[in-house]
Amino acid sequence: MPRLATGNVYERRGKWFARLTIGTKKRQSFMLETCKDERSAVARQAILAELAAKLRKCGRDDIAPDIIKRAAVRDGKALDEVRKAVDMIASGQVVQKNLTPTIEQIGKRWTSGELADLYPDRVKRRRSAETNRYVLDKYVYPMVGDVAIDKFTLDHAEAVMRSLPPRLSPNSRRSVAQLVYRICSLAVLPLRHIAVHPLPRGFVPRYQAGKAKGWLYPDEDAMLLGCTQVPLEWRLFYGFLHREGMRRSEALNTRWSEINLDLGAIVLDVNKTDGATRQVWSERNEMR
């Protein structure tokens, strides 16, 4: 039996983590989502250390971090499948890497911008790539990241949705479903790894109207702008948003080249919806 990887467990903000030294690399931390106390965390850390040692013995430290990450968040039958896969790798039964890419491999090529560079007519570069990457890392890859795209089914996608925490809003759940659906769409076109989309068109939940948005009445606006307890720069910012109707992010990203003082207009070449050029007119312009 190979020597177990050294490591320990620790708690941070109510979550348990295992820290392991994998190969010759520095220690890496893995969140143990299913562990609720120190005893279960120590037990899971021992399993992770055993898997790391087996992979080290057969010279597969290169794939150890991804496998350990999946073993850290899975439980029951799903964890047994990871352990079985490691045993097959260690025994030499897996002699060739699957040439069909996995959900995670396709997703990372997309969020990194690689697909946008290779297929500019099919894949657009999105400013939301960082957010998409975070959502995929947190909710999708731990569940189905290692599933080859040609083996991916509706059951896998439904498993992702069932695993989402209850606290997520309906539209946040919809966003996760959209990302899963998009990865499968990319596998069909332009990547052409599969011929038919594995998910039905109705898989993504319908958008639900959000909460009513608040708005300041004129007397409330006057009270806010006249309140000296609020820093002047913040009062100017609030007043600007209230009068121009811009999103906060749009106002923060505004450049002098987008402002036309003669016309009293702001041209937003880049906006949240990635739509066509949008103009924001000032009150002075409306009164002309």
Q: Looking at residue 145, what is its pLDDT? A: 92
Decide: 88 and 94 in contact? Cβ < 8 Å: yes
The pairs formed by 9-17 with CB atoms below 8 angstroms and a separation of 24 or more are 9/38, 9/41, 9/42, 9/45, 11/38, 11/41, 16/40, 16/41, 17/41
Decide: 5 and 22 in contact? Cβ < 8 Å: yes
Among the candidates 91, 114, 133, a domain finishes at: 91
Per the listing, tokens 């068109």 go with 201
Per the listing, tokens 């467990």 go with 9
Per the listing, tokens 């066509």 go with 276
Q: Looking at residue 217, what is its pLDDT? A: 83
Extract the residue ranges of the chain whose pLDDT is less than 70.
Answer: 1-6, 23-26, 94-99, 210-214, 268-288
Same domain, 73 and 142: no
Number of folded domains that form the chain: 4
Domain membership flag for residue 261:
yes
Same domain, 141 and 74: no
- Residue range of the domain that includes 135: 103-188
Among the candidates 29, 58, 91, a domain finishes at: 91
Domain membership flag for residue 69:
yes
Same domain, 31 and 74: yes
